[in-house]
Amino acid sequence: MSFKIAFIGAGSIGFTRGLLRDILSVPEFREIEVAFTDINQHNLEMVTQLCQRDIKENGLKITIQATTNRREALKGAKYVFNVVRIGGLEAFKHDVEIPLKYGVDQCVGDTLSAGGIMYGQRGVAEMLEICKDIREQADPDVLLLNYANPMAMLTWACNKYGKVNTIGLCHGVQNGHKQIAEVLQKTKEEVDIICAGINHQTWYIQVKTDGEDRTNELLEAFEAHPEFKDTEKVRIDMLRRFGYFSTESNGHLSEYVPWYRKRPEEIHEWIDMSSWINGETGGYLRVCTEGRNWFETDFPNWLKEPAYEYKEEHRGEEHGSYILEGLETGRVYRGHFNRVNHGIITNLPNDAIIEAPGYVDRNGINMPYVGDLPLGPAAVCNVSISVQRLAVEAAVHGDDYLLRQAMMMDPLVGAVCNPKEIWQMVDEMLVAQREWLPQYQDSIKKAESRLQQGDLVPTKNYQGAARLNVKTVEEMAKDREAAKKNAGEADKGNF
């Protein structure tokens, strides 16, 4: 069979290549059309060269259409994968470092908290332009598969305002599923789960082995695990206090709630520095910076290594290829997807983007009824949904009043900052990121004027409770395998 897929933001280090491997591992997909587009010509060329080499080594005749012209790449596309990072590392640095001046200590900063909210402002503005191009250039029945963060905000905006059928995809459920299987001393295949909530705050509300519910055994099992008892302290504490294990990593989860990162002297009680994802201040920014520097330096060596093999046994667990396989071949796939709620989870708002079980076949993507989440997990999710809604509406309409309210309602920002500090922090972030915020130009002029007038709230010269220095290429070269793994983690492909 033949159809066209397009990757937007294809210059990502590892994600594009891995997703393409997964898709081309499906025997029926060996003659599809593939288009890559990215605003960075250099990154686009490197990733295209790697992927085209993989294609050739696997004996396929596909020629990647690589272009910086997004509309050209989208022409006739039936499926569009979105893996963009709007503003790149330059904007991301502001997401992490400006909030630190106000005491907001983030590990990742791409989903919620001050960094995630601002990432959403940049992302939503560009996603609406991307959706316009998709509507005008792609197949009328196109499906947009969004892998970009903040997942819920972007998927929300694309469905409501972009008028493009969009599904959000993440690997958090799969990774937590593996951890649960490990602590129960089972294989992943032996553990059946139902996971529901919102992206990065999805809850394993049912965990069964051999038909027996093991949910109540998880706390004791995680507390006894030799590694997780140290690396997942936040997640274990949330399990202890809310009764259910949550999908996202220790570092991620610690910045979505108000309790674990609000006092610098206490942060080390909850995090672990053996890996950035366990809670390191600005850890994801550091890893991304190191990964990009290493990839550009070491790229010639990547071309000398064996090509990816397009075989089922090498296929990853990202949902994207399995969704395409289900839709095109009819083979049934069960996963966890981000869609508009529409009554699937009954005690979360209908307009929210929820993450819940779904099934895919030729009839489409179907999300069964879940019902109520347990009250505690639902309360945690509803707080985040309120922030997401405010942030989406702010980004769509360029309304900095709603943006400031989103910041005030954010659990971690609200736990650390008073209203005057939040107002000034937003001013600073708007001015610093003006290049990527076309909808806020009038507000940015006013913010700039306020910052220049003086009489400002004092800020801190604060680097965070657990900040590590970015390694130089020379330092990374001492352990090439670790550096390469790090480059892969820059796409958060596997925690």
Q: Which residues are catalytic?
A: 171, 256
Using alpha carbons, select from 237, 241, 235, 138 the residue that is nearest to residue 180: 235
Using alpha carbons, select from 384, 343, 337 the residue that is nearest to residue 359: 337
